[in-house]
A = this chain, B = another copy of it.
Amino acid sequence: MSINANNILIIGLGMIGSSIALACKSKGINVKGFDLDKSVYEDALKNNVIDESVEFFDNINSLEFVSDIDLIVIAVPPKQTLDVINKLDLIWNTETTITDTSSVKNHIKLANVNNIVLSHPIAGSDKSGLSAADLNLFNNKKNVICNPFNVDQMHLDRIESFWSGALNMKISYMSVSEHDLIFAMTSHLPHLVSYALIDSIRLSPIDVADNAGGGLKEFLRLSGSNPEMWRDIFTLNRVDLIKALAGMQVSLNNLLELITEAKEIPDVLSHLEILKDELNEIKSFKEDKF
């Protein structure tokens, strides 16, 4: 599939935006970049992460400015994503396709717009900022596209060809509600739990010093992720996040009942047997499922 996006603008040059920029430049796409922090777009220009910089955000919101831009990728935290889209109202319903990279979608509510498609490239790390730009961050990863505004086919085709052709990603489609619930379960909840677990160790009077076994390392890594982005995700997706948490609490309480032998012991099985079966089922689920 040819990539019908030869000129793009990336708004927000953090790890996600700058990694997209690097991959696009490697495919010969002309990349303009904007960041609220002047020093960031200057660095991006100096380090060849982008081809050209845009100095003032207000310049972008004009038909003239976007006349030679095929695609705008908004790569800012989830809450700002909606703000940026709203501030680009003069270029809604133009030939320029607009997309985002937010991990939450339900707050992006718009009416009468035919050129905005939502994207969620599933990749990331605990690093953030321009210095974490990685040409291969998205290579062979998945991108979930949501199309709640039923945009014109031309824009959908462009978005698909962009992510699959320029970024070498695998495309799948979901509704916004499917997307937000599934990622609440598989991504937002693990992060919330990691923040809570590390916070409880931080607040504890017990000095754990350097006694962190292998099990804790990923919790530490996740809780070291970009706090602004995760504050937005937790807040904006709180309903689905709490649904996912409620499910986890049921499983946790089942395990606690077994561990503390709080339930009546059935005739044929000891609790240890039940717990053993339960743990075995959880272990085998891994191999079945992923």
The residues of A with any CB-CB pair to B shorter than 8 Å are 122-125, 142, 144, 181-183, 185-187, 189-204, 206, 208, 210-225, 227-228, 230-231, 234-235, 238, 241-242, 244-245, 247-252, 254-256, 259-260, 272, 275-276, 278-283, 285-287, 289-290
Contact = CB atoms under 8 A, between A and B. Distances in A.
B124 A282 contact: no
A189 B7 CA distance: 50
A215 B222 contact: yes
A172 to B, nearest CB: 8
A276 B228 contact: yes
A214 B281 CA distance: 22
26 contacts: A142-B210, A181-B206, A186-B211, A186-B215, A193-B197, A193-B252, A194-B215, A195-B251, A197-B248, A198-B286, A199-B251, A199-B254, A199-B255, A200-B250, A200-B251, A201-B285, A202-B281, A204-B247, A220-B286, A223-B282, A223-B283, A227-B279, A228-B276, A231-B279, A234-B255, A234-B275
Nearest to A179: B211
Specify how many copies of this chain sit in the oligomer. 2
Contact of A216 (B187, B214, B252, B280): B187
A212 B290 contact: yes
Nearest to A217: B218
B250 A214 contact: no
A274 to B, nearest CB: 10
B187 A213 contact: yes
Contacts of A224: 283, 286-287
B214 A123 contact: yes
Dominant SS among interface residues on chain A = helix
Contacts of A212: 186, 290
Given A191-B215, A200-B247, A231-B276, 16 more contacts: A124-B213, A181-B206, A182-B206, A185-B201, A185-B208, A190-B197, A190-B216, A194-B215, A196-B249, A199-B278, A217-B218, A223-B286, A224-B283, A227-B280, A228-B276, A241-B259
A259 B222 CA distance: 18
Q: Which 5 A-B pairs have the closest CB atoms?
A: A218-B218, A227-B279, A187-B213, A200-B247, A196-B252
Nearest to A194: B215
- In this complex, the member of A189, A193, A222 whose beta carbon has the largest number of chain B beta carbons within 10 angstroms is A193
Nearest to A170: B210
Given A242-B260, A247-B204, A251-B203, A282 B198 contact: yes
Given A227-B283, A276-B231, A286-B220, A255 B196 contact: yes
A282 B202 contact: yes
